[in-house]
Amino acid sequence: MNSPRGSTSRLAEVLEIASPGERGASRRAVLAHALPCFNAHGIEAATIEELRLRSGQSVGTIYHHFRNKEGVAAALFFAGFDDQSRVIAERTHAAPDAHAAVVELVAAYVGWVTALPELAAFLFMARETIAQGPHGDALRERLEARYAPIDARLAEGVRAGLIAELPAELIPALVLGGAESYCRAWLAGRRQGRPTAYAALLAEAAWRGIAAD
């Protein structure tokens, strides 16, 4: 997997935000060591014993903080997802129009994946498990909170005649589908160029996919 310099410190920052301070140190230790474990074996095959050995935390500590292995996976997933959402919000909130919002959204997305490849790979791998499990409602709420402001900006573009009148459920795939596909291939080692190198091209392709004729 492609791992840029600084990804370790960036991961530490993400986990610090999710579980801050000295009281969160044991949670951060479990999550940091769970990431390579889950990426290597998958959530189902990973074991609490392996998490214990990797993190140096007791089984009791793991159960106290997360209840079970699935709780560890959910906490790690939401730590990454929430950080990704923060980055997207920072890049898109001041976009002056729909085109700029698409450009900033794609740039934020590929930038986050490039900076945190191991965590991005886990989010791709674990998303369906989280969506179908007991934390599915929390994920749906977070998705709504992330994309509602962007959807509103795109709706303005439709009203202004800049964006074609498309089914609302199709637009996310048109906007982020190309970026997501390339990021998955890069994380799997099937593409060499970092996603950020193609951010502008991916953004313009996304815009062409929804722009009015």
92 domain residue, yes or no: yes
1 domain residue, yes or no: no
70 domain residue, yes or no: yes
24 domain residue, yes or no: yes
User: How far is Cα of residue 121 from the mean position of the Cα atoms in its chain?
Assistant: 9
What band does 3 get if pLDDT is binned at 50, 70 and 90? low
76 domain residue, yes or no: yes
DSSP letter (8 states) at residue 67: S
Give the integer Cα–Cα distance in Å for 89 and 52.
35
CA-atom Rg of the chain in angstroms:
18
125 domain residue, yes or no: yes
Average pLDDT over every residue of 200-207: 98
The reported pLDDT for the residue numbered 114 is 97
Overall domain count for the chain: 1
Q: Tell me: the pLDDT tens digits for 43-87?
A: 999 999 999 999 999 999 999 999 999 999 999 999 999 999 999
Give the integer Cα–Cα distance in Å for 211 and 42.
39
Cβ count near 185 (within 10 Å): 13
2 domain residue, yes or no: no
Average pLDDT over every residue of 1-8: 64
What band does 213 get if pLDDT is binned at 50, 70 and 90? confident
CATH number at residue 153: 1.10.357.10
Give the integer Cα–Cα distance in Å for 61 and 59.
5
Helix (H) or strand (E) holding 47: none
Give the integer Cα–Cα distance in Å for 129 and 150.
26
Q: Indicate the SS3 state at residue 152.
A: helix
Looking at the predicted structure, is the pLDDT value of residue 4 above 70?
no
The reported pLDDT for the residue numbered 168 is 85
Whole domain around residue 59: which residue ranges?
A: 7-210
The reported pLDDT for the residue numbered 1 is 55
Average pLDDT over every residue of 16-39: 97
19 domain residue, yes or no: yes
Average pLDDT over every residue of 106-110: 98
Cβ count near 162 (within 10 Å): 16
Average pLDDT over every residue of 8-32: 96
